[in-house]
Structure 1
Amino acid sequence: MTATSALPEKAGRTCHNVVNPFHSTHYFAPELAEEMAKLGLDNRSAAYFACRGAAMGAVGPGTITATFYNFNHELIAQHVPHIWSVTTPQQVLDARLRATDATLRRLLGTEAVESPEMAEAAKLALHAAEACARRARPLYAAHADLPVPQAPHLAYWHAATLLREHRGDGHLIALLDAELDGLEALVTHTATGRGMSHRGIMATRGWTEEDWQAAQERLRSRGLMDDGGELTEAGVLLRKELERTTDRLDRAPYEHLGAEGVARLTELATGFTTTAMNAGAFPAVLFGK
Structure 2
Amino acid sequence: MDPHLAGRTARLLEPLHALGYFAPEVDAEVSGLGVRRGRATYFASRSAAMGRVGAGPVAATFYVFNPSLVAHFIPAAWEAASPEDVVAARYRGVSAAWSRLLGLDVLASDDVREAADLARTASSGCGVAGRPLFAAHADLAWPDKPHMVLFHALTLLREHRGDGHVAALIAADLSGIEALVTHTATGRGFTQPAAQATRAWSDEEWAAAVAGLAERGLMTSDGGLTDEGVALRKAIERRTEDSAVAPWDALGEAGTARLTELCRPLVGTALTNGAFPAGVFA
Which range, TM-score by smaller chain?
Answer: over 0.9
Partner residue in 1 for 2:153? 159
- 2:83 matched to 1:80? no
Partner residue in 2 for 1:278? 272
- 2:188 matched to 1:190? no
Partner residue in 1 for 2:4? 10
Partner residue in 2 for 1:24? 18
C-alpha separation in 2, matches of 1:199 and 1:119: 41
Instruction: Pick from 84, 88, 95 the counterpart of residue 89 of structure 2.
Output: 95
Residue aligned with 1:229, SS: coil
| Deviation readout 1:179-229 (Å, 9 max, x if unpaired) | 011111111111222233323322221211221121111121122122342
- 2:224 matched to 1:230? yes
Determine if contact 2:119/2:154 at 8 Å carries over to the other structure.
yes
Residue aligned with 2:247, SS: helix
Shift of 1:8: 3.3
C-alpha separation in 2, matches of 1:238 and 1:38: 44
The unaligned stretches of length 5 or more in structure 2 are none
Query: Which has the bigger relative contact order, CA under 8 A and spacing at least 6?
Result: 1
> Which runs of at least 4 in structure 1 moved beyond 3 Å after TM superposition?
285-288
| Deviation readout 1:4-41 (Å, 9 max, x if unpaired) | xxx23511101100112211101111111211221112
Determine if contact 1:108/1:276 at 8 Å carries over to the other structure.
yes
After TM superposition, the structure 1 stretch with the greater mean CA deviation from structure 2, 125-134 or 270-279, is 270-279
Shift of 1:285: 5.2
Alignment of 1:27-66 (within 5 A): 27-66=21-60
After TM superposition, the structure 1 stretch with the greater mean CA deviation from structure 2, 35-44 or 83-92, is 35-44
| Deviation readout 1:47-80 (Å, 9 max, x if unpaired) | 1111011000000011111111111111111111
Partner residue in 2 for 1:4? none
Shift of 1:145: 0.6
Instruction: Pick from 124, 128, 131 the counterpart of residue 118 of structure 2.
Output: 124
**RMSD of equivalent CA atoms:** 1.5
Determine if contact 2:119/2:259 at 8 Å carries over to the other structure.
yes
Compute the TM-score of the two structures, normalised by the length of structure 1: 0.93
C-alpha separation in 2, matches of 1:287 and 1:267: 19
C-alpha separation in 1, matches of 2:191 and 2:146: 33
Shift of 1:84: 0.8
Partner residue in 1 for 2:142? 148
Distance 1:285 1:11, change over 3 A: closer
C-alpha separation in 2, matches of 1:38 and 1:214: 40
Shift of 1:121: 1.1
C-alpha separation in 2, matches of 1:112 and 1:212: 45
Distance 1:74 1:256, change over 3 A: same
Residue aligned with 1:92, SS: helix
Determine if contact 1:197/1:286 at 8 Å carries over to the other structure.
no
C-alpha separation in 2, matches of 1:178 and 1:219: 12
Distance 1:9 1:142, change over 3 A: closer
After TM superposition, the structure 1 stretch with the greater mean CA deviation from structure 2, 145-154 or 263-272, is 263-272
Determine if contact 2:131/2:163 at 8 Å carries over to the other structure.
yes
C-alpha separation in 1, matches of 2:215 and 2:261: 43
Residue aligned with 1:220, SS: helix
C-alpha separation in 1, matches of 2:257 and 2:279: 31
Instruction: Pick from 239, 246, 271 the counterpart of residue 245 of structure 1.
Output: 239
Distance 1:195 1:269, change over 3 A: farther
After TM superposition, the structure 1 stretch with the greater mean CA deviation from structure 2, 221-230 or 140-149, is 221-230
Residue aligned with 1:263, SS: helix
Determine if contact 1:226/1:232 at 8 Å carries over to the other structure.
yes
C-alpha separation in 2, matches of 1:262 and 1:286: 25
Distance 1:176 1:262, change over 3 A: same
C-alpha separation in 2, matches of 1:63 and 1:163: 20
C-alpha separation in 1, matches of 2:101 and 2:281: 19
Determine if contact 2:3/2:241 at 8 Å carries over to the other structure.
no
Instruction: Pick from 62, 85, 89 the counterpart of residue 68 of structure 1.
Output: 62
Determine if contact 1:137/1:169 at 8 Å carries over to the other structure.
yes
C-alpha separation in 1, matches of 2:270 and 2:258: 19
C-alpha separation in 1, matches of 2:202 and 2:179: 15
Paired amino acid for 1:128: A
Partner residue in 2 for 1:201? 195
The unaligned stretches of length 5 or more in structure 1 are 1-6
C-alpha separation in 2, matches of 1:192 and 1:151: 40
